[in-house]
Amino acid sequence: MATHTFCNMVIGQSGGATAVMNASLVGAFEAAKKDARIEGIYGMRYGVEGLLQDDFIDLRQQPVDLWPRFFHTPSAALGSTHYSLTDDDLERAITRLQHYHIGYLLYIGGNGSATAVHRLLQTAQARGYEMHAISIPKTIDNDLPHTDHCPGYGSAARFLALTTMHTTMNMLSVPVEYPVKVIETAGRNAGWLVAASALGKREENDPPHLLLAPEYPFREDDFLTKVEDVYRRLGHVVIVASEAIRDEKGQPLGSTEHDKTASTAQYLGKILKQRLQADARFDKPGDLQWSSISPVDRDEAYLVGQKSVQALLDGENDAMVTLIRQDSPGYCCRTGLINLAEVVNKQRFLPDTYLNEEKNMITTAFFDYALPLIGDALPVYPQLELIKVKNERSLHGAARNTAE
């Protein structure tokens, strides 16, 4: 396939702003500025919304010291969006791209972003406008198909593992106040983040004690039985549940005719109190799940940004950059490409082998998969030995008896 000669490039960011999304932007920009075939390098603010509204900035005119700093900066420097293009938008978008002589388009995002790129290319082709575009993967949900993992996931996985460890320590400092904790994760229909919460678990009694992944229907009686078992054994229980848990009829937990927004964690806390009389509290990290950076994750996000530019200049089109884990000593990934037709409207779920037979805890296979992605080893916190002080009166009595 022939490549373009001397044309402009535009880069956008879309979806939830991960902790390493800017690293991909930096990787793409730094690769693009080195190649003479690319003239203007523009950023569309707030993704496709900026494209539709002529909201572009000149990335070549930014201070040179900005880019090394953005490499370490979370969130989306260009601004992000969850807007989905309508059929009418597609024609307008191509008109704007033609107006700015855009021959290369890079879009950093998840499945919705990949779909937007694919639809834009189809519209451009129908109009006879030559444009090449590549999707740069990004999502903490880790649910894009055909890639070993997604940039953004390793950082969120580290955050959730540490959060589970730390909130349990806080809970156990005053266990009488709330002996049951429910943590709700993001992840849509895939349980990758739920599983990540257990990466700090070294012993059976370490938290979390139960996982609820969205791939498997929630059975209330089984759940309550397991909670009771753990509580009787330990005196406390930590549960991590996906936001997208559904019951055996496929209905989201907590969703009622009168309230469609009740969270999974709220619902679980309610039934624990009603049926077990358990004083349960819940945490919803929400956007905090985007706030931690794994150096491994950041470096790979930069890499896929770089490789997206190389792919465009090699004549590739309508594709997403992937990460391919190498079968070698130590952890290493190389990049690949997959056609966007194989990505759009598809999700990659947590494999059965990553959870135990009861589907409520991770296996060694998941540890092997996920630990390399989160960077430095998780901390091991010390605990006091419960060595009781002997009763002083008894000691004095024993001393008298010895003397007599």
Q: Among 54, 88, 141, 279, which one carries the catalytic annotation? A: 141
Strand partners, 84: none
Phi, psi of 136 (to 5 degrees): -100, 115
**Residuewise pLDDT in 10s, the chain (404 residues):** 344 456 999 999 999 999 999 999 999 999 999 999 999 999 999 999 999 999 999 999 999 999 999 999 999 999 999 999 999 999 999 999 999 999 999 999 999 999 999 999 999 999 999 999 999 999 999 999 999 999 999 999 999 999 999 999 999 998 888 899 999 999 989 999 999 999 999 999 999 999 999 999 999 999 999 999 999 999 999 999 999 999 999 988 866 544 555 689 989 999 999 999 988 898 888 888 887 899 999 999 999 999 999 999 999 999 999 999 999 888 999 999 999 999 999 999 999 999 999 999 999 999 999 999 999 999 999 989 989 998 766 555 555 555 55
**Which domains are delineated in the chain?**
7-151+292-342 (3.40.50.450), 156-289+350-374 (3.40.50.460)
Q: Is residue 291 classed exposed, middle or buried when 0-12, 13-18 and 19+ CB atoms within 10 A define those classes? A: middle
- pTM comes to 0.92
7-13/102-109 β-pairing: parallel
Q: Which of 218, 206, 192, 214 is nearest to 164 (CA)?
A: 206
Is there a contact between 350 and 273 (Cβ–Cβ < 8 Å)?
A: no
* Beta-carbon count within 10 A of 178 CB: 15
Annotated active-site residue 141? The verdict is yes
Is there a contact between 374 and 296 (Cβ–Cβ < 8 Å)?
A: yes
Distance CA 138, CA 116 (A): 14
Phi, psi of 247 (to 5 degrees): -80, -175
